[in-house]
Amino acid sequence: MTLKVGQLEAQPGEHVFGYLKTAASRSGLSPDFPIHLFAGAEPGPTMLVQGAIHGGEIIGSIAILNFIGKLDPKTLRGNVIAVPVVNRVGFELGERGSRLDGKDMSRLFPGKKNGSVTDQAAYVYFEEVIRQANVMVDFHAGARTAYERYVLFSAEADPNNLTELEKMRRKLVVAFGLDQAAFFPPGTFGNNSAKEAIDGAGVAQITLEFGGGTGWFKNGADNVRDAERGIWNILKSMRIIDGAFEADGDLCTVYNAGVVIWKPDVDGLFVRLKAFRDELKAGDVYGQLLDPYTGDVLADMKTPKDGIVIPSGQEWPTVGATSIGILGTIDRVEDRRTADLYVY
Ligand SMILES: [Zn+2]
């Protein structure tokens, strides 16, 4: 079957690259989307993999480029849509949103036909790209000052009575291959109507919070490798390709990430005193904010509740960030040796 996104078209067995036209700013700048289409030789479901919808979060971009360099559409039962950089304006400036109108596209879906440039771009992307996907793999990272390594997915309305989409998502979370995953209880970071719109379109979405920060130099190559490994695992889970799953290990710990340590309204040098997986009691000091010139302690940052530190949080100099660290309780531990990892 022909794979068609906007004006771009790929015939079965073909790889096509082009820019999906969107809206233009008032002076005519147009942040068109760079899109790779891989139309499988045989029919099947469609995976969308995207990077840098937040322009400074680029690990997915590198992993996606490595992935598409090896992907042969003639071997696929289904399709792949790959977008290495969704937010080109933010990418150029190393920023989360778009300076054209100050908006964060990841929060705008399903977009607006007649809004500002990012509203309109979100509309085109949602209609032309996201709606075509059965599964969406969305890469984020810690940008310059934070480090993260877990699969994020939306909280389930009723964990004892899962929808088909939620069941699928649970499998994708484990299939991706990291040893940790998390969901935020509703309202932790405000409501996210964009995720609801994507769910409403019947697209099973997982988000990767993966890499970034000063850890780039220590773990960057490993994270890029494991990010790419995860993309291949999702193709296997969808039966678009065959092959064994590869992962960090047999177990995937799923956290209910309900404890956020917020930064006080002063800036400074953040020093973390706790490590990933440390267990904290309410009131324990997680880290300190120091005056970067005198070393004076400006604030002790304490956890408001008991929890385990999940791999997410600020690493070093921290100016402006609002959340410093995330703690959670273990919701469940999935065992890859016995889990069904296939969504089709
Ligand atoms: Zn992000």
Q: How far is CA 48 from the centre of its chain?
A: 12
Residue 124 lies inside a defined structural domain of this protein = yes
- Is the domain of 263 the same as that of 237? no
Query: What is the whole-number distance in angstroms between the Cα of residue 85 and the centre of ligand 1?
Result: 12
Among residues 328, 333, 268, which one has the least CA distance to residue 299? 268
CA distance 212 to 144: 6
SS3 43: strand
- Is the domain of 168 the same as that of 221? yes
Mean per-residue pLDDT, 18-25: 92
Residue 338 lies inside a defined structural domain of this protein = no
CA distance 157 to 286: 31
What pLDDT digit, counting tens, does each position of 325-340 carry? 899 999 999 999 999 9
Domain boundary among 222, 250, 278: 250
224-230: which pairs have CB atoms within 8 A and are 24 or more residues apart?
224/59, 224/62, 224/63, 224/66, 226/177, 226/178, 227/59, 227/60, 227/62, 227/63, 227/139, 228/63, 228/66, 228/67, 229/177, 230/63, 230/137, 230/176, 230/177, 230/178
The total domain count for the chain is 2
- Is the domain of 126 the same as that of 182? yes
What pLDDT digit, counting tens, does each position of 32-89 carry? 999 999 999 999 999 999 999 999 999 999 999 999 999 999 999 999 999 999 999 9
Among positive and negative, which fits the CA dihedral 192, 193, 199, 204?
negative
Count the neighbouring beta carbons within 10 Å of the beta carbon of residue 320: 7
> Does the pLDDT value for residue 145 go beyond 90?
no
Among residues 319, 306, 312, 308, which one has the least CA distance to residue 264? 319
Domain with residue 101: its CATH number is 3.40.630.10
Query: Which protein residues have a CB closer than 5 Å to ligand 1 (ion)?
Result: 54, 57, 140
Residue 83 lies inside a defined structural domain of this protein = yes
Query: What is the whole-number distance in angstroms between the Cα of residue 137 and the centre of ligand 1?
Result: 13
Q: Are 62 and 149 in contact (CB under 8 A)?
A: no
Residue 178 lies inside a defined structural domain of this protein = yes
Domain with residue 320: its CATH number is 2.40.50.100
- Is the domain of 298 the same as that of 171? no
- Is the domain of 302 the same as that of 166? no
Domain boundary among 250, 279, 307: 250
Token pair for 49: 């993999």
Residue 222 lies inside a defined structural domain of this protein = yes
Bridge pairing between strands 204-210 and 180-183: unpaired
> Does the pLDDT value for residue 4 go beyond 90?
yes
What is the per-residue pLDDT for 265? 80
Domain boundary among 233, 250, 267: 250
- Is the domain of 38 the same as that of 93? yes
Among residues 25, 342, 320, 332, which one has the least CA distance to residue 145? 320
- Is the domain of 33 the same as that of 88? yes
Residue 304 lies inside a defined structural domain of this protein = yes
Query: What is the whole-number distance in angstroms between the Cα of residue 337 and the centre of ligand 1?
Result: 31
> Does the pLDDT value for residue 317 go beyond 80?
no
- Is the domain of 46 the same as that of 153? yes
What is the per-residue pLDDT for 35? 98
Residue 242, Cβ density class (10 Å: 0-12 exposed, 13-18 middle, ≥19 buried) = exposed
Residue 57 lies inside a defined structural domain of this protein = yes
Count the neighbouring beta carbons within 10 Å of the beta carbon of residue 297: 12
- Is the domain of 44 the same as that of 60? yes
Query: What is the whole-number distance in angstroms between the Cα of residue 285 and the centre of ligand 1?
Result: 26
Q: Which domain holds residue 266?
A: 256-332
CA distance 64 to 35: 11
Residue 337 lies inside a defined structural domain of this protein = no
- Is the domain of 170 the same as that of 46? yes
pLDDT confidence band for 320 (50 / 70 / 90): low
Counting Cα atoms < 13 Å in the Cβ hemisphere of 128 gives 23
Query: What is the whole-number distance in angstroms between the Cα of residue 81 and the centre of ligand 1?
Result: 20
pTM across the whole model: 0.95
